[in-house]
Structure 1
């Protein structure tokens, strides 16, 4: 029961993002359903998990479409809540650490806005090369969790598939910068991302706000040494670039490399070789950036880049080594939380064909565009509910680990010391405590009363017996 009280105190921080209290209560109900459900079948699984009356299915679904949910404000408030709730956010050089990446989710609906043919590259042979689905970008923040690190999700947006104006020239890189503006992290931060984001637009967008990029660059990339003026300066614009340097050549001189214990997360008793060089990179608008050529005894070699010349190369390697944490959070969101398991179809939408590309909405009527916006809003609210659910599970695991284990009510073959409970363990603990919370707190807690009044009378007795 104490777990649910902590859960309620945390989610109440999001109340200002809703113009009506009832809309917030339905959103909290959706998040609670995410926490305790055992199946990932959309809104129906939430109704079953909380034993709600079947007649409330439409009301629960309609609450996700409501204009009372201020989506961007909700994402910003959730970011501030994360910074407030987690006691040990990761900091390097006094800066917070954010991680960004993209994810593609398969959707088979022919009447779902934003669905298009997507190409995905993966080392896994279980993923098809082409899928129909939604293409999204996500931002997470790294926090300390005992002896581990969590990537707490902050916001996700669908960034492909819908073209609202034929004058819109924004790329995925522009939209990632916009997403970072939405989450509104006021403190300076490092943004860690893969090689796709090693581009001028990302660097400029970050540096304009006094933030820095840590990423990997492709092996065929080139940079330039700063030009050293020799003799009297000639007329005209001063020369900027000196000798051309193939970045791959930094790996070809092992005698110029330094040795150090591997700072990569989870590695022990391994020694890596690295070489540091500050060069001008045209993709960054001629800015001087730091390149780190790393040779790993097991993983091979890679070229890392950081726009902060004061950051130690070992810290650059460590930060990029933590990038996989957002991919792990994607795995939990897909397989445990069901963050992307929405199935909202738009009845009046024109059916999509197999292999369909972008949907050009500037050619459609205003009524049709508004209907698409309403449906896309519902997708994003559903996703944000999953994000809040996952973040609250991580919060309870970090701050109340003993309480989680005492409420777990099940068995694990191996419990690793120094590692906080997983989302699966916390969700099981919340599921075990839910009947007691609803029955004993219905008169004192507003949320417990809200859910209890909407439960099916035939199943309410089951909750009382479970308590």
Structure 2
């Protein structure tokens, strides 16, 4: 037991070292200390439904003051989400535990919808809820977040570590108040630009997205990213791996044309219905054993290089996959990846869905409930096409308060994302030093602890104490302001 306590102290020192990296993001020392308080609250709370839950485990003599301090912290102007994102990306980029596909790191991204019941919260909008369950309403009101991150770990245990988490819909009016030159961008373009920012810290990477992102705007933004002066000078490149719909159409390469023939050269060849190739090219399918979804599995695949995108005709590699009675068509923006690498890259995309579940139910990343009376009251029955009441707000003071409310949601989501990433890094570090968990929350299936198990270990450390005379080292070890 004593040896395990020493290892826990090592983990706390590892955690302290990462938290200290964020000091340059804050212009005031008090804001930095409050940041550490908020992160530690996320790390230890067994359930986070609001800011209140971040202060429950500190046994602070004046919890009301600590609560008010955290509310002020999320609304403070002494730091920005962009500064935290940049420093966090640098931390993640320097890790030695990235999942590698060939020589490339692996990035994964997706959107997540979070219901909000408040009627005076910034950027809340009506969203369609895709679900096969009749128990869920077809429409909800809430925030639409986009998250981009790296896949870390090794072997059967890998995590999606969120690097950037921002609200990506319903924000145009608020952003135009901050920056009059702001231009509206779709969720797809914002995610591709987020991947471009991550590329600076991660180096050359594969970006795995679901089929929603196979659009001309995504491929166009990808081309701009790869052709940018900075990325070309540093030898960085981004490869998009995604899935296509069953009705996806591509084109053969144009036939060679005689130089003496008059007229414009052909841009494409014959049209190819990709799903029909499962029958037409059945004899050309190859069998392989690949590692994905945590184990080695047999798949059949057929690869073909075609042009995609009406009017643009981008060269892409398509991989038709048959596995366990299911058929899928994957696409890569580069022919440097072999079919097996494309299949493995897309299979890791599912890690972000698992991470979103943990972010909601374990960490509480999206649990904020900030509100402001400066916000026009939400009309849940406003008809489509009617003007947005938010656009009619012209009072500068009200605009400032609404902007602060919007930024508070993004700041808490970013702090929660950092806390989730820290739980993952602590779990991997604990496995590396041989830390033995006190107990498992479910049947042990992996060598590396989950975020939930690591959360329990930290919470147990606070309650039982492992320091001198049974005292807990976490408040004074991580948050000096709480020790006073």
Deviates most, 89-98 or 189-198: 89-98
SS in 1 for 2:153: strand
Q: Partners in 2 of 1:443 and 1:384 — Cα distance? A: 22
SS in 1 for 2:427: helix
Q: Partners in 1 of 2:364 and 2:139 — Cα distance? A: 22
The number of residues matched between the two structures is 447
Q: Partners in 1 of 2:356 and 2:334 — Cα distance? A: 28
Superposition pairs of residues 22-421 of structure 1, within 5 angstroms: 22-52=30-60, 53=62, 54-84=64-94, 86-145=95-154, 147-164=156-173, 165=176, 168-183=183-198, 184-208=200-224, 209=226, 210-253=237-280, 254-268=282-296, 270-282=297-309, 285-298=312-325, 300-355=326-381, 359=388, 361-365=390-394, 366-401=396-431, 405-406=435-436, 408-412=437-441, 414-417=443-446, 419-421=447-449
Q: Partners in 1 of 2:440 and 2:240 — Cα distance? A: 42
Q: Is the 8 A contact 1:264 1:318 kept in 2?
A: yes
User: How far apart are 1:261 and its partner, in Å?
Assistant: 2.1
- Rate the CA distance shift 1:96–1:411 in 2: closer, same or farther, 3 A: closer
Q: Partners in 2 of 1:404 and 1:387 — Cα distance? A: 26
Deviates most, 214-223 or 55-64: 55-64
User: How far apart are 1:402 and its partner, in Å?
Assistant: 6.8
Q: Is the 8 A contact 1:258 1:275 kept in 2?
A: yes
Q: Is the 8 A contact 2:46 2:456 kept in 1?
A: no
- Rate the CA distance shift 1:443–1:272 in 2: closer, same or farther, 3 A: closer
User: How far apart are 1:283 and its partner, in Å?
Assistant: 5.3
Offset from partner CA, 1:163-218 (integer Å, 9 cap, x none): 32598342112211232244443511111000111112222222332311000011
Q: Is the 8 A contact 1:219 1:247 kept in 2?
A: yes
Q: Is the 8 A contact 1:3 1:430 kept in 2?
A: no
Does structure 1 residue 17 correspond to structure 2 residue 25?
A: yes
Q: Partners in 2 of 1:297 and 1:145 — Cα distance? A: 25
User: How far apart are 1:41 and its partner, in Å?
Assistant: 2.3
Q: Is the 8 A contact 2:37 2:479 kept in 1?
A: no
**Equivalent in the alignment of 2:230:** none
TM-score by length of 1: 0.89
Q: Partners in 2 of 1:220 and 1:250 — Cα distance? A: 12
- Rate the CA distance shift 1:383–1:404 in 2: closer, same or farther, 3 A: farther
Q: Is the 8 A contact 2:46 2:455 kept in 1?
A: no
SS in 2 for 1:260: strand
Offset from partner CA, 1:372-403 (integer Å, 9 cap, x none): 21111111110111111111110011012276
Q: Partners in 2 of 1:220 and 1:411 — Cα distance? A: 45
User: How far apart are 1:367 and its partner, in Å?
Assistant: 2.6
User: How far apart are 1:125 and its partner, in Å?
Assistant: 4.7
TM-score by length of 2: 0.86
Deviates most, 259-268 or 113-122: 259-268
- Rate the CA distance shift 1:282–1:272 in 2: closer, same or farther, 3 A: same
- Rate the CA distance shift 1:283–1:122 in 2: closer, same or farther, 3 A: farther
- Rate the CA distance shift 1:316–1:70 in 2: closer, same or farther, 3 A: same
Q: Is the 8 A contact 1:138 1:153 kept in 2?
A: yes
**Equivalent in the alignment of 1:450:** 481
- Rate the CA distance shift 1:224–1:360 in 2: closer, same or farther, 3 A: farther
Q: Partners in 2 of 1:442 and 1:105 — Cα distance? A: 31
Q: Partners in 2 of 1:308 and 1:142 — Cα distance? A: 20
Q: Partners in 2 of 1:296 and 1:284 — Cα distance? A: 33
- Rate the CA distance shift 1:233–1:215 in 2: closer, same or farther, 3 A: farther
Provide the aligned C-alpha RMSD in A: 2.4
Q: Partners in 1 of 2:311 and 2:79 — Cα distance? A: 38
- Structure 1 residues not aligned, in runs of 5+: 454-467
Deviates most, 112-121 or 196-205: 196-205
- Rate the CA distance shift 1:411–1:315 in 2: closer, same or farther, 3 A: closer
User: How far apart are 1:8 and its partner, in Å?
Assistant: 1.2
Q: Is the 8 A contact 1:441 1:448 kept in 2?
A: no
User: How far apart are 1:239 and its partner, in Å?
Assistant: 1.1
Q: Partners in 2 of 1:153 and 1:359 — Cα distance? A: 32
User: How far apart are 1:146 and its partner, in Å?
Assistant: 5.2
Q: Partners in 1 of 2:417 and 2:221 — Cα distance? A: 25
Superposition pairs of residues 1-12 of structure 1, within 5 angstroms: 1-12=9-20
